[in-house]
Chains A and B, each alone.
Chain A
Amino acid sequence: MNILIVEDDVFFQKFYSQKLLEAGFTVNVAIDGNDALVKARETKPDLIILDIIMPNKDGFEVLEDISKDDELKKIPILVFSTLGQDEDVQRALKLGAVGYVNKTFFDFGNLKAKIEAAIRAKKNLNYAYN
């Protein structure tokens, strides 16, 4: 499965990329919201993991842009959150994200389960729409 991580922090980029690569995922990284849209079109990921607080274009703006794009809106998006971002997560879910992962609480089993569930759920939804 092909995952696009959208994250401006190099430390989190490398940490999560390595963990997902070790588990057999293909991983691409976008460094901000603008790069996210370019990389999503280029790499056609099965799932996007999207940080919210980023420079230039934040995660909310990315969700809005993706929701207007007929191809990109088929890709499930999990939001990368931290503690105390409950309001941000709710806003992201309203904008089309299918779930969230607390990036500061590393639980790979949980992350993997959420990735697989999100891809399954989005596939079913896309199938229903078509």
Chain B
Amino acid sequence: MDKFDLASFKGLYLKTAREYIDKIEASIEVLLKQPENPDAIMNIYISAHSLSSQGTLIGYKNIESVCSTIERIFKKIKEGKAKVSKDLLTALKDSVIGLTNCVDSIDKENKEIDLSNIKSRLEQL
């Protein structure tokens, strides 16, 4: 694998990562009122997929790990194999807080924070 030159792409990464997290947060609010809203489900699925893919490319394993879990959950929901629950939305809200803190930490200190508790909680749903 070629070395990823993060320095020249860090600003763009931070901007797009924050936009995806905002989209997830806005879609959670929609799902609290309309748990089957297809656009909100798709928005979370695509945003989590993008955050996960970016995390893999750059090497942000904690973000990749949490977001690939969200992506898997919402793939099932999108395909009608699972439903949105209150527990899921609560866990997602906490995921948004964790992901926001993690991106802030990357911005300021160039390192991720631990998100393993959030991942475990999502996996238990």
Contact = CB atoms under 8 A, between A and B. Distances in A.
Chain B's interface size range is 10 to 19
A11 B16 contact: yes
A106 B54 contact: no
B2 A107 contact: yes
A11 B54 contact: yes
A108 B1 CA distance: 8
B53 A103 contact: yes
Contacts of B12: 10-11, 14
Interface string A68-88: 000000000000001110000
Interface in A40-85: 53-55, 82-84
B84 interface: no
Task: Find the residue from A55, A84, A106, A107 having the highest chain B CB count within 10 A.
Answer: A106
Given A104-B57, A106-B57, A108-B2, A9 B50 contact: yes
Contact of B46 (A8, A104, A106, A108): A8
Interface of B: 1-2, 4, 9, 12-13, 16, 42, 45-46, 49-50, 52-54, 56-57, 68
